[in-house]
Amino acid sequence: MARPLVYVLIAVVIVAAVGSWMLVNPSGANPYNSQDVTFPASDGVKISATWYTPETIKPPFKSVILIHEYSGDMHDWDSFIPQFTNRSYAVLAIDMRGFGQSQSVPRTGEYYDNLIKDVEGAVTYLQSRSDVDPNRIGVVGAQLGGTVAYASSVYVKGVKAVVAISPSSDVGSRLIGENVTDFHPSNIMFQYLDTERTNVQPLIDKAVDPYVRLYRPESPAVRASGIALLNRDLRAFGDLLRYLDQNL
């Protein structure tokens, strides 16, 4: 009796995985246009990015700014671009200052807190484009990028919705609201593993009505955070897309 039960459980897992994949990639087609762009951060630092637009959707676009992890770059998000554009989102994937093709700067002193200026520049750039809906701009970030996305909901005018994936509460000071009056992040979704709870909870506690998605993978083999969480747990990316659909 045990063996048939195992087969049934395996079949259930396969069906669930296929269903999740169809949710995030419904058509199987990946039509989009891309363009390498540069723009100044709000303090003048040159930021490099790639601008992706859906090929079959007419502008103005609802747009998402993607912020990578520490030691990564904009290409960390490459595998997700087709799913965003298939979902009718335009995407601005940026290299944070000091990473990728963006201007090199010392990663000392107020480096982390200054990253919010990269998002300010990205939003200003998007709002200057005639093909962007200036009232429908979201920010998605992972790990360090998640903390920057989190802070952008407070500091950056024009950000409508935020997703913070595995953000850290021990990076920077202004990013996490230390000694900042009226620091109340809002319109924000948190995604993280149960093993990250201690690090993420202080950020959740400061947020206004946050939407929290905690993941407890059944297998230790899929215990990954940040962008790796999206790669290894299809539930997570489906949750991200649904949140943006409902709030952007």
pLDDT per residue of the chain (248 residues) written in tens, 0 to 9 = 455 544 444 443 343 444 444 444 444 556 899 999 999 999 999 999 999 999 989 999 999 999 999 999 999 999 999 999 999 999 999 999 999 999 999 999 999 999 999 999 999 999 999 999 999 999 999 999 999 999 999 999 999 999 999 999 999 899 999 999 999 999 999 999 988 999 999 999 999 999 999 998 665 555 678 999 998 887 899 999 999 999 99
Closest to 20 measured CA to CA, from 248, 243, 230: 230
Please check whether residue 167 is in contact with residue 190, taking contact to mean a CB–CB distance below 8 angstroms. yes
- Domain layout of the chain by residue ranges: 29-247
Q: Show the CA angle centred on residue 150, arms to residues 125 and 200, nearest 5°.
A: 155
Please check whether residue 90 is in contact with residue 47, taking contact to mean a CB–CB distance below 8 angstroms. no
Residue with tokens 């912020």: 67
Kindly indicate whether the domain formed by 29-247 is annotated with CATH number 3.40.50.1820: yes
Closest to 71 measured CA to CA, from 95, 99, 45: 99
**Cα 204 from chain centre:** 16
